[in-house]
Structure 1
Amino acid sequence: MSFSSLLGSSSSSSRSLLPYGWDADWEAEFTPFAEQGLLPGRVVRVDRGQCDVVTTGGVIRADTEFVVPRDPMKVVCTGDWVAVDPEGSDPRYVRTLLPRRTAFVRSTSSKRSEGQVLATNVDHVVICVSLAVELDLGRIERFLALAMSCSSGEALLHKSALSWESGAQPVVVLTKADLVPDAVTLGHLVQDVETTAPGVPVLPVSSSKGEGLDVLEAVLAGGTSVLLGQSGAGKSTLANALLGEDVMDVRAARDVDGKGRHTTTTRNLLVLPGGGVLIDTPGLRGVGLWDAETGVGQVFSEIESLAAECRFHDCAHAAEPGCAVLSAVESGVLPERRLDSYRKLLRENQRIVAKTDARVRAEIRRDWKRKGAEGRAAMEAKRGRWH
């Protein structure tokens, strides 16, 4: 059945949801709930057990009491498509979530193994990086590893990340490009980030002067995008520029270190005038990985390619003979900083996964024992030489 025929049947009023990303697949998912008399809607904001939902009748306030699961991965989040009570109900409740196509998740600061869903049903992950301060390439790599692991909701719940080609598409936006003194320097900065983000679009933008916005608008016009970055990265200013009006509050970054103040305190979903939907988020101080092994491998794809040429298939790229990765570092082909960052993110991700995966915990213990035995053997050899 065509999308037009679906909309022309029992839910012709769903046309008002088209700017928010409603399509034939969502229509089909919602069919059984329409038969129950419920209304479709998209969550545009969540706040203290309630949420704002845009429906065919406009934006309503709904309670999330009936969808409070034990699993923190299934809580109502900005970007979710939901089924809500019809008009006349008081209060109105979110009755169920439609299956998520994608979910952007980071690990929490809690010692428990928990993920925090930042945005759902996202097509583009826009990583905002300010050019007003020195580039932190390691932080960009960390954001990209998360973005490239933004996978389907069902895959996420089963701990199997999809490749980013089938999930959300990452884009790095270098904000405040007007503060860079000349075009040559700007070109070098873009090149540095492109090397750090192989295969990912890197777009320099000046929100105050409007430079580069047309290219970014064209990229974002095809779906739902989420803005990510530290406080002071210029996310709210960029959002206002894309929206064509001052919707998000903006405060100047500190002159001392370029860090911003939290002006965005909730995640808000907004319709772009040129097409597409934008989710603005608060600045992220911590960017903890969450089941991001696939993402790490794609961010450091050149290291993964080199590893395939190592003499040993389980090479740790530490001191093994015939290691193609170490040879590339020695020859200057691979920057040592990249290898250090790769190791760091893999170790961190392994610790996160080990909290819920007994097999990974066992592998880590075996690795510790092996390294301990090697260390003791080395010390015994030294003592023998001394005697």
Structure 2
Amino acid sequence: MSILQSYGWNGHFENQYTRFKNQGLEAGRVMAIQGFKHLLITGTGKQEALLAGALMNSKEPEAYPKVGDWVLFKRYETEGIILDVLPRLNELSRKSPGAATTRQVLAVNIDAAFIVQGVDHDFNPMRLQRYLQQVQQCGIAPIVVLNKADLVSNPGHYLHAVEELGYQCPVYLASALDKADQEQWAAACLQPGKTYILLGSSGVGKSTLLNAWLGYHLQQEGAISTANSKGRHTTTARNLVLLPNGSLVIDAPGMREFGMTLEDDATTVSHPHIDELSGQCRFSDCTHLHEPGCTVLAAVDNGQLPQQVYRSYVKLLREQQHYQTSAADKKRIERHFGKISKQVFAHRKNRKY
């Protein structure tokens, strides 16, 4: 197996790369980004590279190379210049933190996401539902890891709470300090040649899990406050690492915000329980908010659909509508500005100044 194949190179990327072979361009995968420098894994090993000015001027920031991307580059002495990005299989994104309605791409070309929550103080079903919703929306398979199970008296309670959310995905109780437990469930999830990402808040044990899989400490872990069990950011940048069993993992920094980015034609939030019930609603375009004959509202009233699941669904639905409205306004303003710019340019050309 070649170096590139061990880092996830497959037929999809090979087909995309074919037309560039005769142009003297090499392919590499982005392992980490530090400022302007991109660390690539190439057919001959690791290589530092910078973005070409033409690439930066021709693409939106979300299309710039991200961790997990396969890029095309040229070597110049000891440094490489990235000229383009091969088409992605998927993108893991979120709404940019803060008030701005923009999309931030976190990492790309991911097969599955480990969503990690600590069951000591971090466990939050509504936050978990947000992660599950966004990960699935991005076309990535979710895997839930309930870490620090050794610190609670009834870990099965948390397992049931996740299953009650209705998402058909694997759920594992884990203790990052239990080596045998690590090996058992990790062997069932981590497949050679596949790319995974670790998601969750700071202090839930993502870096400890990764270090256990690696067999050594990739980085120094942050301190945990004994008062509130909240950790400092143990990871400050996304890194793609190759595990001993041949699988690949991206360790993402802890995130306080994970806003939804459902796109243009998505008219509703897809949820397994609600999707199943909505087919029986009186109206085909039922919003499940106030309509008569709504089976979703009836299921909430009779206890069939948990209240917290429905409340989270409504919150995500409103957030999606706000995001789409703001994004549409932004596009409309950009189109209007572009039209004005063309008129000004034509006016100056006619007046020759």
Q: TM-score range, shorter-chain basis?
A: 0.7 to 0.9
User: 1:132, 1:83 → 2: CA distance?
Assistant: 45
Return the letter of the residue paired with 1:82. V
Give the structure 2 partner of residue 199 of structure 1. Answer: 168
In the TM superposition, residue 328 of structure 1 has moved relative to its aligned partner by: 1.1
Decide whether aligned partners of structure 1 residues 209 and 104 sit closer, same or farther in structure 2, where only a CA change above 3 A counts. Answer: same
Q: Could you tell me how far apart the structure 2 residues matched to 1:57 and 1:70 are?
A: 28
Q: Please show how residues 356-371 of structure 1 align to structure 2 within 5 Å.
A: 356-357=327-328
Rounded to whole Å, the distance in 1 between the matches of 2:237 and 2:129 is: 25
CA distance in 2, matches of 1:296, 1:49: 38
| 1:212 to partner: Cα distance | 4.0
**Cα distance in 2, alignment partners of residues 107 and 338 from structure 1:** 21
Shift of the 143–291 alpha-carbon distance from structure 1 to 2, 3 Å rule, reads: same
TM score, norm. by length of structure 1: 0.79
Query: CA separation in 2, counterparts of 1:197 and 1:122?
Result: 23
Task: Output the CA distance in 1 between the equivalents of 2:267 and 2:29.
Answer: 28
Is the Cα–Cα contact under 8 Å of residues 141 and 197 in structure 1 kept in the other structure? no
Question: SS of 2:49's equivalent?
Answer: strand
Q: Could you say if the C-alpha distance between residues 255 and 99 of structure 1 is closer, same or farther in structure 2, counting changes exceeding 3 Å?
A: same
1:74 deviation in Å?
0.2
Aligned pair 1:214/2:203, yes or no?
A: no
Q: Is the CA contact 1:126–1:171 (under 8 Å) kept in the aligned structure 2?
A: yes
Listed as ranges, the matches of 1:234-383 within 5 Å are 234-291=205-262, 297-298=269-270, 300-357=271-328
- Counterpart CA distance in 2 for 1:309 and 1:269 is 45
Q: Which residue of 2 aligns with 1:187?
A: 156
Does structure 1 residue 172 correspond to structure 2 residue 144?
yes
**d(CA) in 1 for partners of 2:289, 2:140:** 33
What is the identity percentage for the equivalent residue pairs of Structure 1 and Structure 2? 36
Contact 1:39 1:85 in 2 (8 A): yes
Q: Say whether residues 1:147 and 2:124 are aligned partners.
A: no
1:86-119 deviation digits (Å, cap 9, x = unpaired): 3x53542011111111110101135443211101
TM-score, normalised relative to structure 2? 0.86
| Secondary structure of 2:116's aligned partner | strand
Offset of residue 134 of structure 1: 5.3
Q: Distance in 2 between matches of 1:191 and 1:295?
A: 30
Shift of 1:30: 1.4
CA change 1:288–1:319 in 2 (3 A) is closer
1:292-342, Cα deviation, whole Å (9 max, x unpaired): 6969744x2111222221222333334432221221112111112111110
Please tell me the root mean square deviation across aligned C-alpha atoms, in Å. 2.2
Q: Which amino acid aligns with 1:105?
A: S
Label 1:51 to 1:170 Cα distance change in 2 as closer, same or farther (>3 A). same
Q: 1:72 aligns with which of 61, 65, 80?
A: 61
Q: Provide the C-alpha distance between the structure 1 equivalents of 2:206 and 2:116, rounded to a whole number of angstroms.
A: 6
Find the residue that maps to 2:17 and give its secondary structure: helix
Q: Contact between 2:37 and 2:50, CA under 8 Å: does it hold in 1?
A: yes
- Give the number of equivalent residue pairs: 326
Aligned AA for 2:188?
A: A
Unaligned runs of 5+ in 1: 1-13, 151-166, 362-387
Separation in 1 of the partners of 2:290 and 2:218? 54
1:209 corresponds to which letter in structure 2? Answer: D
Aligned 1:52-63 pairs, distance under 5 A: 52-63=39-50
Q: Could you say if the C-alpha distance between residues 140 and 55 of structure 1 is closer, same or farther in structure 2, counting changes exceeding 3 Å?
A: same
Q: CA shift at 1:33, angstroms?
A: 2.1
Q: Distance in 2 between matches of 1:315 and 1:199?
A: 24
- Of stretches 214-223 and 40-49 in structure 1, the one that deviates more from structure 2 is 214-223
- Tell me the CA shift for residue 249 of structure 1: 2.3
Letter matched to residue 196 of structure 1: L
State the shift of 1:252 in Å.
Answer: 3.4
Distance 1:56 1:207 in 2: 34
| Larger deviation, residues 321-330 vs 347-356 | 321-330
CA distance in structure 2 between the aligned counterparts of 1:99 and 1:16, rounded to whole angstroms: 20
CA distance in 2, matches of 1:296, 1:312: 15
Distance in 1 between residues matched to 2:318 and 2:91, nearest whole Å? 23
Is the alpha carbon distance of 1:296 and 1:272 closer, same or farther for their aligned partners in structure 2, counting shifts above 3 Å?
Answer: farther
Q: Residues 210-265 of structure 1: CA distance to partner in whole angstroms, max 9, x if unpaired?
A: 21442223312141001110001111111101111111321232222221101211
Residue 99 (structure 2) pairs with residue 99 (structure 1)? no
Indicate the larger mover: 91-100 or 206-215: 206-215
Distance 1:333 1:112 in 2: 37
Give the match for residue 377 of structure 1: none
Structure 1 runs (4+) greater than 4 angstroms displaced? 292-296
